[in-house]
Amino acid sequence: YQVDHGQVSWEGHPVHIHNARDAARLGIETVYQDLALADNLDIVQNMFLGRERLRNGLLDEDSMERSAAETLSSLRVTTVRSIRQPVASLSGGQRQSVAVAKAVMWNSKLVLMDEPTAALGVVQTRMVLDLIRRLRDKGLAVMVISHNLNDVFEVADNIAVLYLGRMAVQDKASNFDRQSVVEYMTTGGLGRSSGRPAKDS
């Protein structure tokens, strides 16, 4: 989607982002809800898809394997049997981990995650939430788009609520409770006597 109103600023400067490649050049990576992984390719091939390294005109498999393994290790992803196993053989949590590793491998500064725990079981959800914390601990900014308020309150430092495409409220997570967030989601906060997102007493 293109900006239809206003201006996008990044690190204090106006920018124009027309596609994912433009965003990547700025250090912005996205983990899509459908993960955008190719089931028929292995983990290394997926992590470098479209950004393959070449050496003497051939794929530099050794270099790509090392970088993929180092990135997964730095995120403490230890549940995959081999980085050469097909993505189709991975669980939902493992697939999400690969998608996240793919996003952070390129010196990214901001990772956008769209519904990262959708359709995952309890154990897999825990794996993904722990991974989000590790990204934060590594100094990356993480923006999680989610309707699961349990997940939001577990990992978010700040919460922003959109209502009918507009920003209804934005503040520290500690200033909200679930009821107030639901109210902003469903009414835009129209029933509130003030614009403050303070917890209800």
pLDDT tens column, 125-179: 999 999 999 999 989 999 999 999 999 999 999 999 999 989 999 999 999 999 9
Q: Which residues contact 175 (CB under 8 A, 6 or more apart)?
A: 196, 197, 198, 199
Question: Which pLDDT belongs to residue 193?
Answer: 52
Q: How confident is the model at residue 196 (pLDDT cuts 50, 70, 90)?
A: low
pLDDT for the residue numbered 53: 96
* Residue 24, both tokens: 């990547």
Instruction: Write 117-123 long-range contacts (CB < 8 A, 24+).
Output: 117/146, 117/148, 117/151, 118/33, 118/148, 119/92, 120/92, 120/93, 120/96, 121/92, 121/93, 123/93
What phi, psi does 151 have (nearest 5°)?
-65, -45
Spatial distance between the Cα atoms of 135 and 131, rounded to a whole number of angstroms: 6
Determine the average pLDDT of the residues in 82-92.
Answer: 95
pLDDT of residue 1: 73
Can you give the pLDDT at residue 189? Answer: 86
Residue ranges covered by each domain of the chain: 8-156, 157-201
The chain-wide mean pLDDT, for the chain, equals: 91
- The pTM of the full predicted model, rounded to 2 decimals, is 0.84
Q: Which two tokens stand for residue 14?
A: 């106006």
Mean pLDDT, residues 94-110: 92
Residue pair 106/51 in contact (Cβ under 8 Å)? The answer is: yes
Q: Domain 8-156: give its CATH code.
A: 3.40.50.300
Q: Residue 180: is its pLDDT beyond 90?
A: yes
What are 22-78's pLDDT values in tens digits? 999 999 999 999 889 999 999 999 999 999 999 999 999 999 999 999 999 988 898
Asked whether the predicted pLDDT for residue 201 surpasses 50, the reply is: no
